[in-house]
């Protein structure tokens, strides 16, 4: 027998429940009231659908319901999740986890004052960009460097500063969309730069650029196609060839490198990705790249290049709108310092460590992890190791398929979709993938300290 709307208690009575009184002593009243109202909305919906049982209206059941709503209201909205997708640079999951070595520096800077814009040597005003400029120059081989919020901002600033009111020559095959509505032609328009397309989708030659140079030309632009690949009958002009043409014509050359790696990954994972140092060495006047893609640091856009072109960017009015925060700078500096020793970078930067992990390492880790989980969760949750592949993601290395080890999770009576939904609704959500009708967790992107969350999550699957 379903209960009617009139059986549902009023707010005033709920406020007198002992458990609710207890909640009021530790939570702001408006928040508790909001929890009560949400709980009441749920009860009213059930009454209207004729599914409201008398059991749901006992004091104990009402208190539990209100407490649940309060937990939802007081849990941070942005929170930790376990990445079991195998996509290393998962934009939806926050791209690069930071190296743990930056934790201490982040802590210092976040909870105290800092010399963010104070020159400690002279006592006069300094600039926030100075903290990483030398390091970036040392690592990239460039004369000058600047950091903004993300690479989209870096491209916007660089284009505005280098070629506003003039033409930038770009290959038709490089007029890319990065995602999140970032399209090179749109950013150019936004920067006041006129787009001069040359070549075709699959082939562009040096003579195409040369033929397009006029008095109006302000920039030769090369955009690295980091999130897709054109294969087959293709031709593109290298950064070195473009830079040579630029010097010959007295026009600067810019490369949007996109993912921006400081370590040569080609011998390590068999991808075909030039390093930032190579673009600088090839003579590009300005190179832009992301801090949280292959670099493995915080979200930033890094601009390196010739001083004559970077200096005007430092006084460009747009820079103030794109400036990075002190936490970002602290995390970036800590990450960049690791690159002074390539072995340390590969071992301590999670993004690099995950990307370069071999199948053998991952299988061994998977076996160990499966063993630990089997000891901690009921046998009704079956955990087996299977082979598969993972991806770099985040608009990087689109063709790369990295051999990996996966934990296949199965529970009698639960479909892979139900497992996916349940794990996604855990207090620390676990995000995996479903493939060939199996729910999978890719060992590559699981972090060492994910074990307790995995244990709790898999445990919850065994309950009814
Ligand atoms: C990813 C990417 C961007 C945008 O970088 P964000 O740091 O995500 O803003 C721009 N250009 C290229 C070529 C990219 O790959």
Q: How far apart are CA 298 and CA 99, in angstroms?
A: 10
How large is the average pLDDT for residues 284-309?
97
Q: How far apart are CA 89 and CA 102, in angstroms?
A: 19
**What pLDDT sits at residue 393?**
83
How large is the average pLDDT for residues 392-412?
89
Residue with tokens 């562009």: 204
DSSP 3-state percent helix, strand, coil across the chain (nearest 5): 45, 20, 35
- What is the whole-number distance in angstroms between the Cα of residue 175 and the centre of ligand 1? 13
Helix (H) / strand (E) containing 435: strand 433-435
> Which residues on adjacent β-strands are paired with residue 169?
196, 220
Using one digit for the tens of pLDDT, what is the confidence trace for 165-193?
999 999 999 988 877 778 888 999 999 99
* Ligand 1 probe mutation, 184, 395, 398, most atoms within 8 A of CB: 395
- Cα 420 to chain centroid distance, Å, stands at 22
Of ligand 1's atoms, which has the minimum distance to the CA of residue 152? 9
Q: Is the pLDDT of residue 71 over 70?
A: yes
Where helices occur in 263-382 by DSSP H, the ranges are 266-269, 276-281, 307-314, 317-322, 326-338, 342-348, 350-356, 359-376
> Which residues on adjacent β-strands are paired with residue 289?
258, 302
- What is the whole-number distance in angstroms between the Cα of residue 74 and the centre of ligand 1? 34
Greater model confidence, 229 or 318 = 318
Other CB atoms within a 10 A radius of the CB of residue 456 amount to 15
- What is the whole-number distance in angstroms between the Cα of residue 298 and the centre of ligand 1? 14
Give 363's contacts (C-beta < 8 A, 6+ positions apart): 385, 405, 443
Using one digit for the tens of pLDDT, what is the confidence trace for 415-435?
999 999 999 999 999 999 999
Residue closest by Cα to atom 12 of ligand 1: 258
**What pLDDT sits at residue 464?**
65
Please count the residues of the chain.
464
Q: In the structure, which protein residues have their CB atom closer than 6 angstroms to any atom of ligand 1?
A: 150-152, 155, 178, 182, 223-224, 226-227, 256, 258-259, 290, 301, 395
Q: Name the token pair of 40.
A: 């009441």
Q: How far apart are CA 433 and CA 442, in angstroms?
A: 8
> Which residues on adjacent β-strands are paired with residue 410?
382
pTM of the model: 0.93
Contact between 314 and 232 (Cβ < 8 Å): no
- Reference 159, options 312, 328, 329; nearest CA is 312
Using one digit for the tens of pLDDT, what is the confidence trace for 432-451?
999 999 999 999 999 999 99
Least confident of 3-12, 60-69, 224-233: 224-233
**What pLDDT sits at residue 103?**
96
Give 267's contacts (C-beta < 8 A, 6+ positions apart): none
CA angle 189, 192, 194 (to 5 degrees): 70
Give 420's contacts (C-beta < 8 A, 6+ positions apart): 432, 434, 439
Contact between 308 and 142 (Cβ < 8 Å): no
* Ligand 1 probe mutation, 186, 222, 255, 258, most atoms within 8 A of CB: 258
Sign for the pseudo-dihedral over CA of 164, 165, 166, 170: positive
Mean pLDDT, the chain, integer: 95
Residue 82 binned pLDDT confidence (cut-offs 50, 70, 90): very high
**What pLDDT sits at residue 270?**
85
For residue 195, give the DSSP letter: E
Residue closest by Cα to atom 6 of ligand 1: 151
Q: Is the pLDDT of residue 125 over 90?
A: yes
Q: What is the dihedral of CA 198, 203, 204, 207, to 10 degrees?
A: -110
- What is the whole-number distance in angstroms between the Cα of residue 178 and the centre of ligand 1? 6
- What is the whole-number distance in angstroms between the Cα of residue 303 and the centre of ligand 1? 12
**What pLDDT sits at residue 162?**
97
Q: Is the pLDDT of residue 1 over 80?
A: no
**What pLDDT sits at residue 318?**
97
Q: How far apart are CA 382 and CA 167, in angstroms?
A: 61
CA angle 390, 337, 110 (to 5 degrees): 95
């Amino acid at each position: 027998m379903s209960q009617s709307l009139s059986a549902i208690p009023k707010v005033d009575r709920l406020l007198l429940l002992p458990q609710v009184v207890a909640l009021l002593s530790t939570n702001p009243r408006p928040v508790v009231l909001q929890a009560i109202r949400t709980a009441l909305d749920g009860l009213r919906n059930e009454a209207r659908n004729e599914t409201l049982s008398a059991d749901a209206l006992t004091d104990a059941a009402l208190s539990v319901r209100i407490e649940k709503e309060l937990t939802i209201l007081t849990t941070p909205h942005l929170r930790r999740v376990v990445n079991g997708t195998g996509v290393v640079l998962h934009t939806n999951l926050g791209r690069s986890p930071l190296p743990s070595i930056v934790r201490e520096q982040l802590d210092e800077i976040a909870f105290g004052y800092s010399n963010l814009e104070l020159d400690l040597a002279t006592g006069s005003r300094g600039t926030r960009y100075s903290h990483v400029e030398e390091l970036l120059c040392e690592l990239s081989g460039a004369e000058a460097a600047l950091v903004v919020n993300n690479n989209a901002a870096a491209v916007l600033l660089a284009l505005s500063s280098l070629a506003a009111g003039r033409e930038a020559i770009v290959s038709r095959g490089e007029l890319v969309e990065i995602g999140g509505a970032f399209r090179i032609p749109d950013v150019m328009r936004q920067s006041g730069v006129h787009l001069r397309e040359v070549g075709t989708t699959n082939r562009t030659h040096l003579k195409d650029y040369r033929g397009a140079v006029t008095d109006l030309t302000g920039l030769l632009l090369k955009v690295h196609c980091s999130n897709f690949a054109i294969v087959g009958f293709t031709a593109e002009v290298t950064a070195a060839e473009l830079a040579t043409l630029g010097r010959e014509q007295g026009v600067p050359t810019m490369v949007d490198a996109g993912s921006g790696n400081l370590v040569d990954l080609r011998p390590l994972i068999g991808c075909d990705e030039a390093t930032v140092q190579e673009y600088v060495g090839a003579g590009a006047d300005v190179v832009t790249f992301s801090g949280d893609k292959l670099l493995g640091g915080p979200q930033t856009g890094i601009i390196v290049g010739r001083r004559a072109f970077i200096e005007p960017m430092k006084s460009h009015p747009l820079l103030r709108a794109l400036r990075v925060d002190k936490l970002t700078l602290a995390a970036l500096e800590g990450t960049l310092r690791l690159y002074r020793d390539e072995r340390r970078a590969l071992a301590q930067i999670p993004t690099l460590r995950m990307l370069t992990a071999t199948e053998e390492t991952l299988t061994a880790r998977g076996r160990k992890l499966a063993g630990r989980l089997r000891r901690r969760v009921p046998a009704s949750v079956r955990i087996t190791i299977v082979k598969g592949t993972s991806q770099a993601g985040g608009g990087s290395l689109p063709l790369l398929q990295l051999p990996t080890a996966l934990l296949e999770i199965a529970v009698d009576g639960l479909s892979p979709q139900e497992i996916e939904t349940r794990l996604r609704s855990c207090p620390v959500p676990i995000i995996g993938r479903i493939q060939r009708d199996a729910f999978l967790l890719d060992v590559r992107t699981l972090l060492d300290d994910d074990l307790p969350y995995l244990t709790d999550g898999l445990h919850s699957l065994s309950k009814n």
